Structure formats: structure tokens, C-alpha cells
Copies of this chain bind each other. A is one copy, B any other.
């Protein structure tokens, strides 16, 4: 078994544990409002790769954080990622019917339920981080809350989504695309690594190394996503292909061309891996993840 397929096995195993945790955390509601819990579960228990949770757990391991704590934070991060997809797929936003090969939340349920399920997932993520089960220190919990909120709010992910909407009528250059993607996807990826460091009360230098790794990884991830949108197989990718071009959106690939975009992604992965040097062999899982990010087919 090659190193990549070995890693994929490892990632799939982690994804399963994360799904089990999410399933335990989201209440199987009853009563008239049970539909809300159903939609929350539908939006999160959908066979995603769980890259962000993997980053949380693997970063946390560098500092010997007990895995049950890391799993709670991983689940919270994944809930925020999932809520952003649910809202992003809405008719007023990207208007997508398909996500990971299945009907999007507002298609499976309805728009109102999808809006509320997204709101509830976002809210619940903070409830999980604030809870003593996540870490005995209130300081650590409050720091996790602040880091996640700052990465996913107006100056982070939501700001990036706004920028993305505004960019539809604009011609963006490399610098603007890079900023857009850093906000829209990069910061949530970065905070996944930072969360591990916060949980582990890591020294500043380790914190910074992980953060630098994550920022390069995030950008490489986005370029790989753009490449999949151009070259991927819709059935494997699990969503519509070519939609960036159809929407007239500039991407790294439309700006750089396929070859240079692929080179750029490789360079970023090398750079990401270099940042991990201080952790020596302990960070091998993070190195494998970085390589996987540009070699994946979905």
C-alpha cells in the first residue's frame, strides 16, 4: 500500500470518528421542531472528508492533548464549515442543488429550514467550545471561541463570501483572488490548526509555525479545488463541475492557467511542509495531509 493510500485510510478512519462525535453531539430532536435537528444532522453527517477536524486533531496531538477534547473542537469546526456550505448553497447565494453527490439542504428540506439549520449549527459550535468538557480552563475555552469567531465572521469566512458575491461583476487580479480565498476558506483552515495549539497551550513559536503551515495549506487547497472544478470528474467530485467558469468567476486557474496553477499549489505545499520542521517526525501526518491536498481527486 502506497503512502498516499495509507494516509487516505487514516483520514477516512478519522472522518468516521468525527462523524460519530457529531452524531452524538447533535440531539435527535423530537417534538414539532424535530425537522431542525434532522436538517442539522443531514448537513453535517454527509460523508465529507473532514479535513478541518483532521487538522484540529493532528495539531492537538503535537501537544499531547487528550483526543476527546480535540474531537469536540473538531466537531465544532466542522459544524461551522457545514453551516457555511448550507447557507452558501441557498438560492439567494450560489443556488446549488447538489453537494457531495446529494441534494443540498434546502432541496432536501426547504429554504427556511436550511437557513435555521445553518444558524443552529453555527450557534452550537460556540456552545460546544464554551463547555467545560472541551477544556477545564475557561481561558482556553474563551480563546477557542474568539479564534473561531474571528476566523469565521465578517473579517474572515463570511467577509470572504461577501467578497465572492461582489466579485462576480469584477475582474480580480492575483492579489485580490488570494485575499478572497484567504478570507473565504483559508482562515477556517488556519484556525483548525490554531485550535490544536490553543488546546495544547502551545508555545508562541509552535503556534506561529502551525499557523504558517495552515495558511500555505489553505491556499494550496483552494488552488487544487479550482483545478478540480476545471479538470475533475463530476461524479467523483460530487458537485457540479465548471461552475466557476459558468459564473464568469476568476479563479487561480483562470488567471494562471492549469500548469502554472499546479506548480503554484506544489510550491505552496513544499513551503507548508517546511514550516513543520520544528516538530520533526511528530508532524508527519500533517505533511502527508499537505501532499494529499493536491493529489486528491475529490
Residues of A whose CB lies within 8 Å of any CB of B are 27, 29, 31-33, 35-37, 40, 83, 87, 90, 92-93, 110-113, 115-116, 118-120, 122-124, 126-127, 129-132, 137-143, 145-146, 148-150, 152-155, 158-163, 165-167, 170, 176, 183
Contact = CB atoms under 8 A, between A and B. Distances in A.
Most chain B CB within a 10 A radius of its CB, from A110, A143, A146: A146
A118 B163 CA distance: 16
Contacts of A141: 138, 141-142, 145
- Secondary structure at chain A's binding surface: helix, strand, loop or mixed? helix
Contacts of A162: 33, 35-36, 113, 116
Contact of A37 (B129, B145, B154, B166): B154
Given A92-B115, A138-B138, A138-B141, A150 B163 contact: no
Nearest to A36: B162
Contacts of A115: 87, 90, 92-93, 115
Which 10 A-B pairs give the minimum distances between C-beta atoms? Answer: A138-B139, A127-B149, A92-B111, A130-B145, A138-B138, A130-B146, A123-B153, A141-B142, A36-B162, A120-B154
23 contacts: A29-B154, A32-B163, A32-B170, A33-B163, A33-B183, A35-B162, A87-B116, A87-B119, A90-B115, A93-B112, A93-B115, A113-B165, A120-B153, A120-B158, A123-B154, A126-B148, A127-B146, A127-B149, A130-B145, A130-B146, A130-B149, A138-B142, A145-B145
